[in-house]
Amino acid sequence: MSNENKKMDFSFGWLALKLLGKSLYSNAWSAISELVANGFDAGAKNVYVYINITKKDDAIIELFDDGIGMNSEGIATYVKVGFNKRIDLHKPTDDNYMTMGRKGIGKLAALYLSENYYLITKTTDEESKWQMIYQENSNDENERPFLSKTEDKIDICCDKDWKSCLTGTLLQMNHVNLTGLGDVAFEALSKKLSNFFALDSMDGRQIYLCVNDQANTTISFKPVKKEIAFKNMAFIYYNSKEKHSNTPKIIEDNTGNIIKFSLDKLNGKQFYKHTVKIEDFDNIENIQTHGTISCTNISGEEVKKEYELTGWIGLHGSIDNTYAVQNDPLFSRNKFYNPIQLRLYVRNKLAIENFLNVINNTQAFVNYIEGEIHFDILDEDDLPDIATSNRQSLDEHDPRVLLLVEIIKKVVSSLISKRTDLTKQIKNQQKDLLAKQNDNAKKQFTKEVESEIENLESLTKSQKSTLTTIVSNKIKGDVVPKSDYIVFISHSREDKIITDFIYHILKYKGAKDSEFFYTSRDDNVEQYSNPESLAVQIKENILKDNVLLLYLTSKAYKASEFCMFEGGAGWATRSVGEYIALSLTYPEMPKFITNGKLEFCFEKNRDIPLDRSTYLFIIKMLNKVIKHLNAGRRANAETEIPEFEDTTMPSDLELAKQKKQVTDYMDNDIKEYWDFYITQRLRPYMEKRYKNNNEKDKN
């Protein structure tokens, strides 16, 4: 065999290039992040990402930087697939930046996104334009992939911003298919990009992002920022001595922050207040986050290497969006973005998205842990590269990874142990408060029963005592604090023109059906086949601790067995002032209901006018109901109902001077609902109400 035939070079074809690119990245966002990393490795301080999704199946992505750019020699290196960037390329920066890439294959991310892209690069001395068009040719298997230099006029979307970069490189990727990604996915892109890099440790380097989904929209870049919901974390462990990072300062600023844990089994007003616990890694018992490890270098020699775990690991108080956002508005979690991960960075670039999957911890609360940790010994220049072929993980058998696993296991177990102890404290406080509430409720009920029974002159002292004991013991099991807040409208169906007004104006303001027990409403789907079932429902609702009773009494009310049952049961189970007493006239209000605090009579000379006194009472009454419902909404993290404006009305003399009516100063919604539900229905209501009286007058 001749010397010429003793050596056969591998032929790297188009198909191999494409397959390699496809195997390295799992989605478009990871490919974009790789190209951003290439920009930083080229000395860029700023990298810009522009995405035009006017047509998602034919999108355009432009990514450019203000790095050193590439001359002819640089382009020749760029087209090489697979080389050690840290050895073959000079370090383009003189600050603390550490080159992220190592294998020289990150450029394939562009091919993952597009089979047709332009590369424009400029240095201080020259500028050149190149084009890649994927063109697998089955007729010429020996043809190798190439970039072709072009003089084509390239329509650059971000031309103005690109021109502001004196040096750098721009990639324009055309015909990118981004179908299947909705608005939420693009909203999450900024957060995902921020997680690919430890931006706070990169000496001021910045990523800028712009996504346009409409034609002719102005290109406006916004900086990609880390948004960590530290104020939602109950416990945080961190390295306070971490260099080149402002995160320790941000964490320390949370000292004294209080997280509220809702005590769900109570009435919604009580919370367990927990002060966030922040500790330095070095102060955690039995955890050694720095030291020395023996490693085998790329030459096969055993060497001693120093290691240090930096960064932070926290445990969230809640991972439910509703409650977490109350603690920290920065908290965001959906199917496209999940912050609850332990992100591992090596040389300021994401190495593993969630290291919790590596440690295989299945304890309760492990899914509450979020963190960003750095362990640069995993990728030192003179040690073997332990990234897997798909670049999504690390060789878990390497001693460096095994060391990190043991450290993280201890940190996570310590955090979970603290959270378990906190859970016990919350349960104990809830138990104590429940017992106290139940005891207070029973005492209050017994006190009121004693007071009323004492007025029964027909009973002896012994009989009164016995009756008090019997009634108190009978009700004990029912007087239990509840967690829901509702309004119970006690009324006779004959008077529904007034209660309809109250119900519908509150619904218009935002109250829900579930916040009322109102049997006469037209949209009521609850039906009761017999009086006994209705009585049970009435009893259950009245006995709830967080029910505000609103009575509307009349002759019809006093004549109804159910109405009087409602009135008596409500009166017997709550203190004076815990209900609102309305009536048509004072003689029609049962004496045991009057509370002297919030009560009003509507009828005046067989009319129900919306005059000054009625309007002022209605405002006061409706706002009291709204405040009651809002207490429950705050407990359940729901949107609160806006109150009515408490307007100061001019005197009659001032109105006369202004030539205005008192109604001019009333809320328009109240006037509209009053007219529809009361004024327009008043005549038949009054005729029916006084029918018996009229017949008596005739006789």
Pair of tokens at residue 74: 């640089």
Question: Where would I find the beta strands (DSSP E) of 353-474?
Answer: 369-374
Domain locations in the chain as residue ranges: 14-223, 230-425, 486-698
Q: Which of 580, 590, 503, 597 is nearest to 553 (CA)?
A: 590
Tokens 């616990």 belong to residue = 277
Q: At 622, is the pLDDT very low, low, confident or very high (cuts 50, 70, 90)?
A: very high
Chain segment 411-421, per-residue pLDDT in tens: 999 999 999 99
Chain segment 370-412, per-residue pLDDT in tens: 999 998 888 887 888 777 544 556 777 889 999 999 999 999 9
**What is the Cα–Cα distance from 357 to 166, expressed in whole angstroms?**
44
R_g over Cα of the chain: 37
Q: Which of 528, 584, 526, 530 is nearest to 558 (CA)?
A: 584
234 CB-near residues (< 8 Å, 6+ apart): 259, 274, 276, 277, 315, 316, 317, 418, 419, 422
Contact between 200 and 43 (Cβ < 8 Å): no
**What is the Cα–Cα distance from 360 to 338, expressed in whole angstroms?**
19
**What is the Cα–Cα distance from 584 to 600, expressed in whole angstroms?**
8
Chain segment 21-74, per-residue pLDDT in tens: 555 567 888 889 889 988 998 889 999 999 999 999 999 999 999 999 999 888
Q: What is the pLDDT of residue 440?
A: 65
Q: Which of 191, 187, 234 is nearest to 338 (CA)?
A: 191
Q: In angstroms, how far is CA 375 from the centroid of its own chain? A: 30
Chain segment 623-636, per-residue pLDDT in tens: 999 988 887 777 56
Is the CATH number of domain 14-223 3.30.420.280?
no
In this predicted structure, which of 315-324, 501-510, 634-643 has the lowest mean pLDDT?
634-643
Which H or E element spans position 16? helix 14-24
Q: What is the pLDDT of residue 336?
A: 66
Task: Determine the straight-line distance between the first and last CA of the chain, rounded to whole angstroms.
Answer: 137
| Position with higher pLDDT, 47 vs 698 | 47
Helix (H, G, I), strand (E, B) or coil at 503: helix
Residue 500 has pLDDT above 80, yes or no: yes
Q: What is the dihedral of CA 83, 84, 88, 93, to 10 degrees?
A: 130
Pair of tokens at residue 176: 């990118």
Helix (H, G, I), strand (E, B) or coil at 13: coil
Tokens 């201080």 belong to residue = 124
Q: What is the pLDDT of residue 547?
A: 81
Residue 17 has pLDDT above 60, yes or no: no
Residue 530 has pLDDT above 50, yes or no: no
Chain segment 272-325, per-residue pLDDT in tens: 899 999 999 988 888 889 999 998 888 889 999 999 999 999 999 998 888 899
Q: What is the pLDDT of residue 614?
A: 92
Pair of tokens at residue 637: 């993290």
Residue 152 has pLDDT above 90, yes or no: no
290 CB-near residues (< 8 Å, 6+ apart): 306, 307, 308, 309
Give percent of the chain with pLDDT exceeding 90: 35
Residue 222 has pLDDT above 60, yes or no: yes
Q: What is the pLDDT of residue 698?
A: 46
Q: What is the dihedral of CA 456, 459, 462, 464, to 10 degrees?
A: -30
693 CB-near residues (< 8 Å, 6+ apart): none
Q: What is the pLDDT of residue 87?
A: 52
Q: Where are the alpha helices (DSSP H) in 659-698?
A: 668-677, 682-689, 691-698
In this predicted structure, which of 178-187, 193-202, 237-246, 464-473 has the lowest mean pLDDT?
464-473
Residue 158 has pLDDT above 90, yes or no: yes
Eight-class DSSP state of 326:
H
| Position with higher pLDDT, 249 vs 546 | 249
**What is the Cα–Cα distance from 592 to 551, expressed in whole angstroms?**
12
653 CB-near residues (< 8 Å, 6+ apart): none
| Burial (CB count <10 Å: 0-12, 13-18, 19+), residue 153 | exposed
Taking residues 439-445, what's their average pLDDT? 64
Chain segment 541-583, per-residue pLDDT in tens: 555 557 888 888 888 887 776 677 666 666 555 544 467 888 8
Question: Where would I find the beta strands (DSSP E) of 147-297?
Answer: 148-149, 168-176, 206-212, 222-223, 233-238, 258-262, 271-275, 277-280, 290-296
**What is the Cα–Cα distance from 638 to 622, expressed in whole angstroms?**
19
Q: In angstroms, how far is CA 225 from the centroid of its own chain? A: 18
Q: At 488, is the pLDDT very low, low, confident or very high (cuts 50, 70, 90)?
A: confident
| Position with higher pLDDT, 481 vs 511 | 511
β-sheet with 369-374: strand ranges across = 277-280, 233-238, 310-316, 369-374, 342-346, 349-352
Mean pLDDT of the chain: 81
| Burial (CB count <10 Å: 0-12, 13-18, 19+), residue 510 | middle
Q: What is the pLDDT of residue 138?
A: 47
Q: Which range, 460-464, 500-504, 631-635, has the best average confidence (pLDDT)?
A: 500-504
456 CB-near residues (< 8 Å, 6+ apart): 464
Chain segment 348-370, per-residue pLDDT in tens: 888 888 999 888 888 889 999 99
Helix, strand counts (H, E) of the chain = 21, 23
Phi, psi values for residue 13, rounded to 5°: -85, 175
**What is the Cα–Cα distance from 323 to 272, expressed in whole angstroms?**
13
